[in-house]
């Protein structure tokens, strides 16, 4: 397995980097000084005594990326991923902080599991931000112990893959979460409609003879959750929006002033259900890849601010699990290591986004949603959490380069433009 080793930064002067920090309204070629793992300052022609220097000419120095949606599988599914291997994948992709999902075994539905995950990440010097379960055992029946989880470090609550079907339970759980200011992250999907579908329901599933999950399964769930938000005024965060109808409803909810935020994944903005033609299980994810119309709606949603953030839904599965027939193989794709390249290729290069726009979706908005203002910007006196990237570097994402423990990516073999070359996390430097 590939391994990145971090160097604790003692005294480093990064020269000639294009420093981009929209929050601080910075975008120019400058130097940045890091000492004892912390950012000292940035500016033109800095002097730093005894500092090591690094020439970053041609590279972009930006606040580190934050992923609102990852599965690190520990405890319980260490054969798919561990916190250590997940952190490796995150750093390789330029992420300095990740929100982990609670579908571990046991579920992260109590303070002990939150603490365990935080301790594992602290040893690794990574900013792990666990989410806790919304209901006990993610069973959708009884509200989980959110107050204690929050004290232990949980940043949000969600039952992720298990949408709370019972609207009465959901109401109480969302209300309880609102008591503690915890965002409710919803994997909006009515499972009674999705049933045993393996891909998007539409003309492609009909042609391939595969069972489908219609847009309605997601749209109905988003509609209900928006109405609960209207009732409760909890912070609703809609995960991995994939349908044009979902985007439209979130847009309307925001227009009405409801406290709703949303994320979309790189695969939903880059790929469609046409990818399924070879029955390749690496394209089996949930929500499924949808039609071109939906993909365009997701991109428009990102561009007009309806969708606040890009999150990967990094979902590692062992090769032998994923290499089963299409009915049996689990849902999901890894995403941390390809996300920056895919977003730059599709949106920065493909649709002429500014690099600030990318940062807004992958760093600033996530930090705001979590109210973690140490992230999403450069801050003197704080740990170095930033990246150095080449926005024009062309590369091919390949299985042999993966740092995650699992190799189920829907982007293998794809030509990408834009790559993170150095990630600084908590003052440790990792170079790719």
Partner 1 sequence: MMSNGTKIQWTRKDLLGLKDLSAAEIGLILDTAKSFSEVSQRAVKKSPALRGKTVVNLFLEPSTRTRVSFELAEKRLSADAIGMASGGSSMTKGESLWDTIANIEALKVDLIVMRHSSSGAPHRVSNYTKCGIVNAGDGINEHPTQGLLDIFTLRELKGKIRGLKVVFVGDILHSRVARSNVWGLTKLGAEVVLCGPKTLIPWGIEELGVKVIHDVRKAIDGADAVTLLRIQMERQNETLFPSIREYASTFGLNTELFKLAKPDAILMHPGPVNRGVEIESALADSTQSYILKQVTNGIAVRMAVLYLLSGALKNE
- In this complex, which beta carbon is closest to partner 1, that of residue 321 or of residue 346? 321
Number of shown-chain residues binding partner 1 (CB under 8 A):
22
Applying CB under 8 A, among 214, 301, 376, 427 the residue interacting with partner 1 is: 214
The answer to whether 208 contacts partner 1 (rule: CB under 8 A) is yes
What is the distance between the alpha carbons of residues 177 and 234, in angstroms, rounded to a whole number?
7
By CB under 8 A, tell whether 193 contacts partner 1. Answer: no
Of the two residues 138 and 213, which places its CB atom closer to partner 1 in the complex? 213
- Asked if 201 interacts with partner 1 (CB under 8 A), we say yes
Residue 324 binds to partner 1 (criterion: CB under 8 A): yes
- Among candidate residues 308, 313, 323, 392, the one labeled active-site is 313
Q: Which stretch binds partner 1 (CB under 8 A): 326-334, 372-380, 407-415, 416-424?
A: 326-334
Contacting range for partner 1; rule: CB under 8 A; set: 11-19, 178-186, 245-253, 322-330: 322-330
- The distance of closest approach from Cβ of residue 18 to partner 1 in the complex, given in angstroms and rounded to an integer, is 45
Active-site residue flag, 313: yes
Nearer to partner 1, 324 or 396 (CB): 324
Token output for 157:
């609550």
Q: Which is nearer to partner 1, 103 or 272 (CB)?
A: 272
Q: Under rule CB under 8 A, which residues in 262-281 are in contact with partner 1?
A: 278-280
- What the block records as the tokens of 246 is 């979902």
For residue 257, the minimal CB distance to partner 1 (Å) is 36
Active site residues: 313
Applying CB under 8 A, which residues contact partner 1?
201-203, 205-212, 214, 278-280, 320, 323-328
């Amino acid at each position: 397995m590939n391994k990145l080793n971090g160097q604790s930064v003692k005294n480093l002067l990064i020269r000639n980097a294009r420093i981009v920090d929209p929050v601080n309204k910075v975008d120019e070629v400058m130097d940045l000084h890091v000492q004892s793992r912390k950012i000292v300052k940035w500016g033109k022609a800095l002097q730093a005594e005894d500092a090591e220097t690094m020439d970053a000419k041609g590279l972009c120095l930006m606040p580190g990326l934050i992923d609102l949606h990852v599965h690190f599988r520990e405890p319980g599914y260490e054969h798919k991923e561990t916190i250590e291997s997940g952190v490796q994948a995150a750093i390789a992709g330029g992420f300095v902080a990740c929100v982990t999902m609670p579908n571990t075994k046991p579920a992260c539905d109590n303070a002990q599991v939150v603490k365990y995950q935080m301790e594992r990440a602290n040893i690794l010097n990574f900013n792990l931000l666990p989410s806790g379960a919304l209901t006990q055992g993610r069973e959708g029946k009884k509200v989980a112990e959110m107050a204690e989880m929050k004290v232990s470090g949980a940043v949000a609550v969600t039952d992720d893959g298990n949408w709370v079907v019972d609207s009465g339970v959901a109401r109480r759980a969302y209300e309880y979460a609102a008591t503690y200011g915890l965002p409710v992250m919803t994997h909006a999907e009515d499972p009674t409609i999705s049933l045993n579908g393996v891909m998007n329901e539409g003309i492609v599933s009909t042609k391939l003879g595969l069972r489908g999950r219609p847009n309605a399964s997601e749209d109905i769930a988003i509609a209900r959750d928006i109405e609960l938000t209207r009732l409760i005024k909890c912070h609703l965060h809609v995960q991995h929006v994939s349908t044009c109808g979902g985007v439209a409803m979130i847009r309307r909810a925001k227009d009405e002033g409801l406290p709703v935020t949303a994320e979309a994944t790189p695969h939903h903005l880059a790929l469609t259900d046409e990818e399924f033609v070879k029955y390749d299980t690496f394209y089996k994810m949930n929500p499924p890849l949808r039609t071109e119309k939906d993909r365009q709606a997701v991109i428009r949603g990102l561009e007009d601010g309806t969708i606040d953030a890009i999150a990967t839904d990094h979902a590692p599965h062992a090769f032998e699990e994923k290499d089963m027939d299409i009915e049996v193989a689990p849902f999901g794709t890894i995403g941390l290591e390809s996300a920056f390249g895919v977003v730059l290729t599709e949106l920065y290069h493909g649709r002429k986004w500014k690099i600030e726009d990318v940062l807004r979706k992958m760093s600033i908005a996530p930090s705001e949603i979590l109210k973690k203002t140490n992230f999403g910007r450069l801050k003197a006196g704080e740990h170095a959490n930033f990246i150095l990237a080449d926005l024009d570097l062309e590369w091919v994402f390949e299985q042999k380069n993966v740092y995650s423990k699992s190799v189920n990516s829907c982007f293998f073999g794809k030509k990408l433009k834009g790559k993170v070359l150095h990630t600084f996390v908590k003052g440790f430097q990792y170079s790719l």
